[in-house]
Amino acid sequence: MSYSRHQLIALLRKHGIAPTHQRLEIANVLFSRCEHLAADQILTLVNERHAETSKATVYNTLNLFRDCGLIREVIVDPKRVFYDPNTQPHHHLYNVDTGEITDIPADDLTVSGMPELPPGMVTEGVDIVVRIRAL
């Protein structure tokens, strides 16, 4: 679960991302704890020891990581985007009361009856969100 500094450097390099101090800090936060974190949580965590990463860099970096396929976005909360270090196809359980997001392995859930796509269109992904609630 915990990555060494040069494992993180290798991970970024593999995705064509130059490893800077800030990017490594952000990657470390994302990959060490395997949770679904929002930008402002990442900003806080990264500056926990001593402040050294700006808000702009956190947003820049998350967008870069996303564009390079290192992480993916999870769109369940209309208020903020969550970032998921797990880019394997999988789905999410969303507790609407607490906001907690839990993974559902892809092979547990099967979807059948996918509609025909308009010609010239390809599927980029299928996201399933199971909204749950207490009671």
Where along the sequence are the contacts to DNA (CB under 7 A)? 17-23, 38-40, 52-57, 59-61, 63, 78-81
**β-strand partners of 72:** 84
Question: Please, what is the minimum distance in Å from the beta carbon of residue 112 to Zn ion?
Answer: 20
Residue 126 contacts which entry, a copy of itself, DNA, Zn ion, none (Cβ below 5-8 A, type-dependent): a copy of itself
Q: How far apart are CA 63 and CA 57, in angstroms?
A: 10
Instruction: Name the site residues for a copy of itself (rule: CB under 8 A).
Output: 73, 75-78, 80-81, 93, 95-96, 104, 107-115, 117-118, 120-135
Q: How far apart are CA 62 and CA 71, in angstroms?
A: 8
Q: Residues 27, 48, 4, 69: what is their CA dihedral angle, to the nearest 10 degrees?
A: -10
Closest CB to DNA among 82 and 91? 82
Question: For residues 64 and 17, is the Cβ–Cβ distance under 8 A?
Answer: yes
Which positions lie near Zn ion, rule CB under 5 A?
Answer: 84, 86, 103
